[in-house]
Amino acid sequence: MYPNSLTQLARANPFSAPLFTLQKVEEPSQSLAAEHGLNKRTLAAAAVAEGDSCEFGSSHYFIMCGIGGILSCGTTHTALVPLDLVKCRLQVDPDKYKSIFKGFSITIKEDSMRGLAKGWAPTFIGYSMQGLCKFGFYEVFKITYSDFIGEENTYLWRTSLYLAASASAEFFADIALAPMEACKVRIQTCPGYASNLRQCAPKMFAEEGLWAFYKGVVPLWMRQIPYTMMKFACFERTVELLYKHVVPKPRAECSKSEQLVVTFVAGYIAGVFCAIVSHPADSVVSVLNKESGSSAIGVLKKLGPKGVWKGLVARIIMIGTLTALQWFIYDSVKVYFRLPRPPPPEMPESLKKKLGLTE
């Protein structure tokens, strides 16, 4: 509310910003706002929408998102174990495994087709736990940070919000992943060390103690946090751009199947960028978990600027497919269980009024 004289003076000000005009806006009282639920979540309406099985931002919602993360990450990473195995071997022994196709042929020749499945158990367990934390905590942090900065800043700084929420979630997700990732790499890259998780975990503990399972957590953060930040932020913004510039009709008019196609395409685009930004750290993690007593700095020096990019093509194929499938499965879980799926963000009415975009 502005007095008439001040309002007129402000409007006559020759230095006023051209995009902003002061307007008389009726602010709802606190009691009225509470009555109509205006103080609830700012990222999307907290009320249960028609057809949704739960309230957006509720405990049930977060739990189901975590289950979606388990299904999306655990199944996809396990399905791609053969490619992951060849990629890891290409990173730690590039002289022997010179290319993807050479890696597959040597592995099949030495270990038969069964050898391509080495490390499937720690992969499934580790990445299921990671998926639980990654997707579940992302939703938690995204809503928490959004509530903290408010509706208008959520829209204006949405990319930063996605980056912050995904980085926070991945920090905890990697702690859950680290033990199984260490076992997986040891099984896949050290012939004769152990053939399965039951043999590998006790042997590693006996040789190096608990440190054996967590010595790779820092390079894992170096690999996974940039990867996840790119995965979520790039996906969210790509979905927004696809609906704005590519899809010929609004999201609300698209069928569930059409929406899932958009999800898959956006996921693959995000996956390519994810692979590139996280590959050097991935190479370090692979060598670090193979060699006992090694350090991240030592491995980095040993590999050199060129060595850290070995296996990038395999990783782009793997991560692009992986990320697309993960988002597709995660979104499908939301559709199947009728979880709230907020549409791409739009400028809040309050911000439009401040910018003078509404009459």
Q: What is the pLDDT of residue 49?
A: 55
Tokens coding 283: 């190479």
More confident residue, 151 or 289: 151
The single residue listed with the structure tokens 């905890």 is: 172
User: Confidence class of residue 41 from pLDDT cuts 50, 70 and 90?
Assistant: very low
pTM confidence score: 0.75
- Rounded distance between C-alpha atoms, residue 319 and residue 219, angstroms: 18
User: Confidence class of residue 205 from pLDDT cuts 50, 70 and 90?
Assistant: very high
Q: How many residues does the chain have?
A: 359
- How many C-beta neighbours within 10 Å does residue 43 have? 21
More confident residue, 279 or 22: 279
For the chain, percent of residues with pLDDT exceeding 90: 44
Q: If one looks up domain 54-214 in CATH, what number appears?
A: 1.50.40.10
Q: What is the pLDDT of residue 162?
A: 96
Which tens digit of pLDDT belongs to each residue from 237-250? Answer: 999 999 999 998 88
Q: What is the pLDDT of residue 44?
A: 41
User: Is the four-CA dihedral 225, 226, 227, 230 of positive or negative sign?
Assistant: positive
The answer on pLDDT for 172 being more than 90 is yes
Query: What are the strands, taking DSSP E only, across the chain?
Result: none
Q: Please answer whether residues 20 and 356 qualify as being in contact, where contact means their C-beta atoms are separated by less than 8 angstroms.
A: yes
Q: What are the structural domain ranges in the chain?
A: 54-214, 224-338
Query: What are the strands, taking DSSP E only, across 72-111?
Result: none
Angle between the 158-189 and 217-241 helix axes, to the nearest 10 degrees? 130
How is residue 16 annotated by DSSP? S
The amino acid at 158: R
| Strand, helix or coil for residue 236 | helix
User: Confidence class of residue 359 from pLDDT cuts 50, 70 and 90?
Assistant: low
- Rounded distance between C-alpha atoms, residue 308 and residue 96, angstroms: 16
Residue 52 phi/psi, 5-degree rounding, is -80, 145
Concatenated DSSP letters for 247-308? SSS-GGGS-HHHHHHHHHHHHHHHHHHHHHHHHHHHHHHHHHHHSTT--HHHHHHHHHHHHT
Query: Lowest-pLDDT range, 16-25, 176-185, 194-203?
Result: 16-25
Q: Mean pLDDT in the chain?
A: 82
Tokens coding 253: 């008019």
The single residue listed with the structure tokens 């996956």 is: 271
The amino acid at 276: I
